[in-house]
Every structure is written in structure tokens, then in C-alpha cells.
Amino acid sequence: MGINLHSYNTISKELDPAGVTLVAVSKIKPVSDIKSLYDAGQRDFGENYVQELVDKSGHLPSDIHWHFIGHLQSNKVKYIAPFVHLVHGVDNFNLIKEVNKQALRCGRVIDILLQVHISEEETKFGLSEEQLAALITQVREAGFSGIRIRGLMGMASFSEDTDKVRSEFATLKKLFSSLPNEIPFDPLVLSMGMSGDYKIAIEEGSNMVRIGSLLFGARS
Ligand SMILES: *Cc1c(COP(=O)(O)O)cnc(C)c1O
């Protein structure tokens, strides 16, 4: 148990000069491990489950930026709306509508990333290129004032085939590069890359990586 500080320092040294934000993925890991990484300087943490995120955030410093990186269900948005920093992985209009509603209820504007399906795997969530364009249009027309689309998120295939992983990231980067015409925020966020593929993701243009096991150890 315990965190891998050596790995944290190594990864930070790679990311900082490149201007890439590290989201430390702490799902299933105890509050004490998160606090250790916090004490080492880390401020952005990612969680996949609403209840777990709510419980942990109550026991940790309030200047942590909490990223929700799991599949968010509409009926649970209200629990994280008061404090969540960025919701990755949003892939449908009804969810955006609910995030907007709960954000307004809290007097906040909540930043979201749209998840694009780039892997070959069937089980992953995410939008096709066509669905992405349609959703952006739909959101713009709805004129929501409680949410901001800040960029895109994607997960590559879990594969040893690095060419394939690279080309999936490149596909997402290409879509991302065509976004600024439509979305007026600077800088936009491209969240791609995990423990096994973050180096490739950065080479392909990622500016936010979500890393868990390299920092906290394998999850059982
Ligand atoms: C668990 C998870 C990660 C981190 O995975 P590691 O391989 O442990 O780095 C990143 N992104 C998402 C969406 C996850 O669910």
C-alpha cells in the first residue's frame, strides 16, 4: 500500500514543462493515500463513483480540484454539483441538461468535457464524430448558462498495439483541433492518456492525463 512518490515526481517532471495537467485517479484508494499525494503538492484528483467522491471530498482539503471521470448518471448529478471542478465523459444531452440545472441551483457554472468514442471496444461510452457535432449544436441552441463545454475526453483501446493506440489518440486530437471555431474557451482541454498510454497521448497532443495505478499502485 501507499503511494509511489518516485513515480509522482518522475511524471510531474515530464508533464510540467509540456504544460500537461495531471489528474491523479484515486478511485478505490483510501483518503490517507490522497492526502499523501496532496502533501506532495498534487491538487487535481479524479474519481469514478459519485458516492465515493462525495465521501472522500468531505475528509480532504477544500482546495482540491475534483474531477469526475466515471459514467455520470443524471439522478446523481445533484450530489457533486456543489463542488465538482470538471466533469469528463459527458456524452448525452439529457445529462448536460441536468448538469446545467444543478449548476444553476448551486449558483455555479460547471465545466464539462464531451467524451468521444475512439477505441474499438464496444463497452466504452462516448460519441461518434457525427454525434459530437450534433450535440455541440444542440447545446449551443439550448443556450445553457450553467455549463461550459471545455473540451474533449477519450480512452484508447487497452492494447499492446501502440500504433493503434497512437492512431486513436490522433483521431481525437484532430477532432479537438477543429473545436475552437465552435467553442470560445481558451485554453481548451484535451483529456486523454492513462497509466499505460499517457506518453503516447502527450505526443499526440493531450494536455490533461488521468493517471491512477502508476501513482497509487494497482487496483484490486
Ligand atoms: C481508472 C481510470 C483512469 C486511470 O487508470 P490507470 O490505468 O490506473 O491510470 C483514467 N481514466 C478513467 C476514465 C478511468 O476510469
In this prediction, residues 179-208 reach a mean pLDDT of 91
Ligand 1: residue whose CA is nearest its atom 4: 212
Bond prior to 61 in cis (omega within 30° of 0)? no
pLDDT value, residue 1: 61
Ligand 1: residue whose CA is nearest its atom 7: 195
Q: How far is the CA of 210 from the centre of ligand 1 (A)?
A: 6
Q: Which domain holds residue 70?
A: 5-216
In this prediction, residues 165-175 reach a mean pLDDT of 97
Give the cell for residue 146: 450553467
Domain count, the chain: 1
Give residue 57's pLDDT band: very low, low, confident or very high (50, 70, 90): very high
pLDDT digits (tens, 9 = 90+) for 73-121: 999 999 999 999 999 999 999 999 999 999 999 999 999 999 999 998 8
Ligand 1: residue whose CA is nearest its atom 10: 210
The string of DSSP codes covering 57-102 is HTTS-TT-EEEE-S---GGGHHHHTTT-SEEEEE--HHHHHHHHHH
CB 210 within 8 A of CB 23: yes
Q: Which atom of ligand 1 is nearest to the CA of 153?
A: 13
**Which residues sit opposite 210 in a β-bridge?**
23
Give the cell for residue 41: 503538492
Please say if the pLDDT value at position 191 is more than 70.
Answer: yes
Mean pLDDT, all residues of the chain: 95
Rounded alpha-carbon distances, angstroms, from residue 212 to 32, 94, 108, 163 = 15, 29, 28, 23
Please say if the pLDDT value at position 68 is more than 80.
Answer: yes
Give residue 123's pLDDT band: very low, low, confident or very high (50, 70, 90): low
Helix, strand, coil % (nearest 5) of the chain? 40, 20, 40
In this prediction, residues 130-152 reach a mean pLDDT of 95
CATH number at residue 155: 3.20.20.10
